[in-house]
Chain A
Amino acid sequence: MPELRKTPMLDQLLDGPFPSFVKEIKKGAEKNEACNDLLGQLELSYEEKITHWKHGGIVGVTGYGGGVIGRYSDVPEQFPGLTEFHTMRINQPAGWFYKTDRLRKLLDIWEKRGSGLTNFHGATGDIILLGTHTNELQNVADDLAHEGWDLGGSGSDLRTPSACVGPGRCEWACIDTLDIVDTLTRRYQNELHRPMWPYKFKIKISGCANDGVAAKARADCSIIGTWKDNIQVNRTEVVNYVNGGFDIIGQVVDKCPTKCISYNPVTKSLSIDDNNCVRCHNCINKMPKALRQGKINGATILIGGHAPILQSAFMSWVVVPFMEMKPPYTEISDLLEKIWEWWDENGKMRERTGELIYRLGMRSFLKATGLPAVPQMVLHPRANPFFFWDKEEVNQ
């Protein structure tokens, strides 16, 4: 084993209270030449202020078109350990729950077959295994499969869906986020592992309006838990909050976006005009012991979210105000499959679903999916007179 690469710039990131990634790479560098070269290449990037990873390169494992991302150094003569240094995406358990004996097996495989470096987790949600050789890819996949770990998505396919902690450890989950993500992921293995679409498609599932996995911002299909009936009020606990010095007027009444909550300081009682409630969740966030969501639960389905390229950033928008989310989740599957078919038929290369809706219009989308137009879809109706009519809508 050659001696450790000298990294005077990176070494300045070893101190300080936040845990250091440089320390992590150095741990690897002591036993793995590729990690040592990674230190060297990163130091070079710090000197030159430029990345040294080459663009592209198709690698994979038998039977899969996604899950592995080719990565090659553009200075392999300086860092031979990075000549091939591919990423593998591993499908994470729903909610990122782990049992140590299961996880240790994955770590052992990555020690034997890869760099030993990981991301827990990547931005899409997968476990990321960072750096191995082309000739080890199949071995890693085989060994992992033997222990019950499957690859995730990459490229123009269904990206590994993810969900918030949900009913596993949260009282606010209006839907079983973990069961939904697990069911949909298993149902769409083919779409997940074999790129066949115009571009990527992401599904993220949050149990409530707090949107713990940033589904609205990050997913083409955002599934957000909500309820239809009245917020449940525990009057005793309301009094306890107030008696404990909680600023109920400042934190709850004044912050209610629709002013549907009022508090009577004489009777120490809270009343909610649920007809005007938009279920923003602030009051429940602030008084979790006193207020609970309603009992008629389901999800709002939003479509189209993605980051800026090509058509500026979109947050997903409402297409189904309320969907019951009961196993086996046929309703959401039916909708997804209609969307995918329409997008596959009409989308240009690298056009996200939201961009296609933007290009062809919501009218076209609604026709393709059979969804009815409802006021919940818009902030306000259009303010221009330039609307289209279909032939069957006008006198011939």
Chain B
Amino acid sequence: MVKTDFGPPKYLDMMSDLCKRNYGKWKYHEVLDTGTLVHVAENGEKLYTVRSATPRLMHIDTLRAFCDLADKYCNGFFRFTSRHSIEFLLEDESNIEPLKADLHAMGYSPGGVGNTISNMLHTQGWIHCHTPAIDASGIVKAVMDGVFDYYTEAKLPARLRLSLACCLNMCGAVHCSDVAIVGIHRVPPKVLDEKVAKMCEIPNVVAACPTRAIRPEPSKKSVVINDEKCMYCGNCYTMCPAIPIFDPKNDGAAIFVGGKVSDARHPAMFSKLAVPYIPNEPPKWPTVVQTVRMLIDVYAKDAKQGERYGEWINRIGWERFFKVTGLPFTDKHIDDYIFSIPTFRSTATFKW
């Protein structure tokens, strides 16, 4: 029997001597370019970071190639960020350009530092998840290709976080991102009575519904769904596989904007609805890509230096946001879920 419950590898065993020497003694950092940072320690030592986005889903041979680069340029040390980027940690400044050249040769471009789009945080999608309404990696690939210049060139007013969640479980801070793509369903799930009777615990299925749209149907040992009340969250399906909610004709993506997690200047904000629905358009998802591109272009042109996406909207107002983006405002944009009333306007001081 091998050992269990011993925890992760100790982080200090994964750090270079320079990092360990200057642990907690960093003085300041500077952005050298959109792919490179330098951190300066109190004793004057410098650590250079070259950052590159990855597709998150990687084969071990790609990771081995990263290991080779780290051995060649970084004494065998690197790290990842919370947004699936790889960061090479260099002590020798002269290694930066050769490393970047090798990365480019691998098909990886350094970027995502400073006032850029950092790598797109995302979920599993059709590759490996049982609840997605949309794919994840494919949309991310198409969107990142479509906004790649904003990743490699610092031409945004502030940094911009793009995220994607393939269903309403919203793994990955999508609900607090500058521009977020979320997979949604638009029709109630189907109840497969015979399977429900065999596979599911009825009380748990009933309790899983946020809008109380599900009630027991004892004669069938199953449940019935009140379609009027269902808002297609899929939570019942998570509890009970016999209530599938997928619908190729109706599933798709919604886009939310203006969220952030940093408290700088303005407290952290939730993302808010910009586009209620875009149909699934594999493999290149052109409408999603064009919409995200437009949303970023308008912000890049109109926001003041230092304003995050949501701060820009707060300044110009949502009525103006819909005007400058040309997006239609619909009844879907008016909240009718749990905390709706505080989001209604109760002043006549709005803009035309």
Contact = CB atoms under 8 A, between A and B. Distances in A.
B276 interface: no
Interface string A213-237: 1111110000000000000000000
Interface in B128-149: 128-132, 135, 137-138, 140-142, 144-145, 148
A213 B7 CA distance: 20
Given A189-B5, A218-B173, A17 B63 contact: no
A182 B220 CA distance: 50
B167 to A, nearest CB: 10
Nearest to A49: B248
A88 B82 CA distance: 19
A354 to B, nearest CB: 13
A9 interface: yes
B155 interface: no
A214 B173 contact: yes
Interface in A1-49: 9-10, 12-13, 16-25, 27-28, 35, 38, 42, 45-46, 48-49
B21 to A, nearest CB: 12
Contact of B280 (A13, A35, A49, A251): A49
A348 B233 contact: no
Q: Say whether chain B's binding surface is mostly helix, strand, loop, or mixed.
A: loop
Interface in A307-342: 307-313, 315
A110 interface: yes
Interface in B75-127: 76-82, 84, 86, 89, 107-109, 121, 123-127
Interface residues of B, number: 118
Contacts of B57: 21, 24-25, 117-119, 130
A257 B266 contact: yes
B228 interface: no
Contacts of B196: none
Contacts, number: 349
A254 B125 CA distance: 42
A142 interface: yes
B28 A217 contact: no
B345 interface: no
B263 interface: yes
Nearest to B18: A169
A110 B60 contact: yes
Interface of B: 1-11, 13-15, 19, 23-30, 39, 47, 49, 53-64, 67, 70-71, 76-82, 84, 86, 89, 107-109, 121, 123-132, 135, 137-138, 140-142, 144-145, 148, 151, 165, 168-176, 204, 207-208, 210, 233, 235, 237-239, 241, 246, 248, 251, 259, 261-268, 270, 280, 282-284, 304-306, 337-339
Interface of A: 9-10, 12-13, 16-25, 27-28, 35, 38, 42, 45-46, 48-56, 62-64, 71, 85, 87, 91-104, 107, 110-111, 116-121, 123-125, 130-131, 141-142, 145-146, 148-150, 162, 164-165, 167-171, 173, 176, 178, 182, 185-186, 189-190, 193, 209-218, 247, 250-251, 255-257, 280-282, 285-286, 288-289, 307-313, 315, 348-350
29 contacts: A12-B284, A18-B141, A19-B55, A19-B107, A25-B57, A45-B126, A50-B126, A51-B130, A56-B241, A98-B78, A100-B67, A102-B9, A103-B67, A111-B60, A116-B60, A118-B58, A123-B171, A169-B39, A169-B79, A185-B7, A209-B263, A211-B262, A211-B263, A213-B82, A216-B261, A216-B268, A250-B304, A307-B169, A310-B210
